[in-house]
């Protein structure tokens, strides 16, 4: 999915997000540290449960909280460097591998377009809770060496039946400045 000026994007979380603080963004995510959104409100709603469980585990919220929010933002283009992974392919998988497991970066150097690492926004297919076991197995070498054609092909083949949705990672202050908060809807999980 291409980014378009004026498009509406969604973020599912344990809390309503009206102001984006990049210092709160965690490392080790698919496209690196940044504020993640999707064009699918349904997908954002699906992330609430995971976010609530993580927030409970690290003590951000009480153990009895049974709700979360989908916050929506309108994107207003402003000359950002945008990199898109058009397909869930080897380059996409190797970019995720470097972000989720930084120690793999040395082995994967030069295999991913350097523009991906320099972009304000990276977009592409999402590796979510349904796909996480496959990505983890690949990263742990269960399909063979992560650089082998066999391991890459097998992992991608396992992922594609999941009809992967999109994700947008806003990685810089300049990027999040292009997002205008619209509303936050509360959902019980």
Sketch the domain layout of the chain as residue ranges.
8-188
Residue 74 has a pLDDT of 98
Q: Is the pTM of this model over 0.75?
A: yes
Decide: 164 and 93 in contact? Cβ < 8 Å.
no
Longest pairwise C-alpha distance within the chain? 47
Question: pLDDT band for position 161 (50/70/90)?
Answer: low
Task: Please state the rounded mean pLDDT for residues 112-126.
Answer: 95
Q: Which two tokens stand for residue 137?
A: 């197995």
Which SS3 state, helix, strand or coil, does residue 130 take? coil
Q: What is the pLDDT of residues 1-59, one digit of tens each?
A: 788 999 999 999 999 999 999 999 988 899 999 999 999 999 999 999 999 999 999 99
Q: Which two tokens stand for residue 62?
A: 């009480």
Portion of the chain with pLDDT greater than 90, in percent: 77
């Amino acid at each position: 999915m291409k980014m378009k000026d004026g498009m509406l994007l969604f973020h599912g979380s344990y809390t309503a997000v009206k102001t984006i603080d990049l210092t709160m963004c965690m490392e080790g995510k698919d496209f690196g540290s940044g504020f993640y959104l999707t064009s699918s409100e349904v997908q954002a709603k699906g992330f609430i449960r995971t976010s609530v469980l993580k927030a409970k585990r690290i003590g951000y919220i009480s153990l009895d909280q049974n709700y979360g929010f989908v916050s929506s933002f309108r994107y207003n283009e402003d000359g950002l460097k945008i990199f898109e992974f058009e397909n869930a392919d080897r380059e996409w998988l190797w970019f995720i591998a470097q972000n989720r497991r930084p120690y793999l970066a040395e082995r994967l150097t030069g295999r991913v377009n350097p523009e991906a690492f320099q972009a304000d926004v990276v977009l592409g297919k999402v590796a979510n809770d349904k796909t996480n076991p496959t990505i983890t197995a690949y990263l742990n070498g269960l399909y063979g060496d992560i650089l082998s054609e066999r391991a890459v092909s097998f992992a991608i083949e396992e992922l594609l039946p999941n009809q992967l949705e999109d994700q947008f990672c806003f990685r810089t202050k300049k990027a999040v400045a292009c997002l205008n908060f619209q509303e936050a809807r509360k959902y019980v999980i």
